[in-house]
Structure 1
């Protein structure tokens, strides 16, 4: 999980969890108002609030964490709902013989408690189930208000404030969770795109290798069979066939080595163009700042590998929205910098074998590789390699 996803998860969790304050709002206001107007409050109701609300809060947070993690929390939802219903019924029983503020404020406490429960009960369920849960919560509230507190307060006023809250808060929570899941899907799509690029490159190399050695191996098989048949009847001719087999084997081995060498010696201009296309396809604006000519030979190959590894890390380990690639040729040195605005989890110290292997290859060629956050919300990958002359025009090759 990269830093962007962690940040989105943190924001989503605490946005949903902060609605727990709403559950405490009604009972606390009721107790404060009763103390100020009546001079005190019954100890039994204080115990009910002091025990019931912390347990409800613990269950509430478990449901929120499960919803953010994409796990079901049916047991916690059922238990917290049963607890809320029990607190509502006991609250009505305890204030039955206490007229005034205690009974008049009770519907408000009910409304905050049932709304808070519904706000998390609808997370991670289908739209039809969410509507059913909301309707059920509203039905329970109305039934308790009219059955347990008949003639207390104005029920129509209670419903006027309660029903809009019940309609807005639960579905705003569902919207938050939907946005978070969309962010996860986008991140998974970017990772899949990077993995697909690697897989396609492997398939391309496999096809090239098959095309190179397939014909040679077929010819070797045919000539070997012919040599076996001629071994006794025409030993001289069999020797000639085996000599040809040896030549074919050497040629095949040479072609394989050349293929591997060509596979490792990627073209810098082609890699820059490919990386820009891949990053922009992932909605990362990519800017190239290049000289007219590219470094020659091994320097260009090493920088091409740096560009490929840097783009892969940008896709996999950051939440970047823009990237800038700069190449400078100064004297006998080529300096490549890749900067993006998504400081991901991966750094030079713990970035895996990719950057470590590149650093070793550049060091063996007399160069260096560094990767670090800049401290201003950006991450920079910097490669320095020796370059003695200029081989061919670079900007036009990338444009093509």
Structure 2
């Protein structure tokens, strides 16, 4: 009996001692009021993000040929250098019913020739022409579904428009008429880019499952499951396709490669160590982009990775705190940190070439509340949008801020460029500038 009591006491002491500051069960520690001498620190201290300029006087000249637009079905997610150098005079607005919780999502415009396709607060999809005239408007949601105010992801291949939403519905329309071709329901809501490849399309749902569907009838052809997260992140996941292999990220930071024809997992690479795995629910990653040889992805944990596309191994890692899509232009990788610094990196080595402060004109007190929402690299300038409704124009060569345009007082989307026009989304309108 005494032995049993002793064993119970020892077991209790061991369990009690395990609740220290390094225990996996606690993300942060509390100070015990009865003992003022005990000081606890965060289990997962955040590394200091870059907050100073570097080589700010360095001149950078781009020689790569510019593209005419943000590609309709961009397999590589790389916007490249765009043939845009507009005066940014406001031309027109495409107004729609206000999208609630717009700040939480990253909706995108779908372009078809000179037409714009988008959605409103009740899931209505509309197509405008280049003269701001409505071509068609369709809604395929029930009254109950409309009350849920679905957020739609849109992509087209020039013939069909694929739609998937955050209430687990997906369907296909004729892009010319807006007529419904088929509609289906999924087991879980969707929260990723959609990629169309030949007669298939691909999307990731909230269970971190990559699903492959037939364009013909919407039936599922195969799926690849990855580790699920207990917390649903609102940050949209991303997909790239290179040589019949699909690469995607999930909400806990794993990068996976899948053979498109077989639905077979080729490799998987975790980007978050076990040390910070418990805090992965707060992870917000950028879109994956690729130059067809390497993958590039950054996050709000002060990490920017270059990954070999064949082996799934790290080429290099640098400390860049950004959940925005980067852009590859020639040998350079452009990124903007959450603190508002424009960072230019040599893509092969990962060495930082120049850092300039894009937020230097904002007041010191207001600056911590302002976040970048996206950017594009134009002919001579970088166009950077912000969470307080500003569009910053930054000269590429010098890194200097040329102008700051007030578009709105609240969040605006990342910029889109099509037919030498720049488009921005706010919660109740699409703004077109030249």
Please state which band the TM-score falls in when normalised by the shorter chain.
under 0.3
Normalization by structure 1: what TM-score? 0.18
Identify, as 1 or 2, the structure richer in strand: 2
Normalization by structure 2: what TM-score? 0.17
Instruction: Determine which structure has greater relative contact order: mean sequence separation of CA pairs < 8 Å that are 6+ residues apart, divided by chain length.
Output: 2
Identify, as 1 or 2, the structure richer in helix: 1
Q: State the structure with more CA Rg.
A: 1
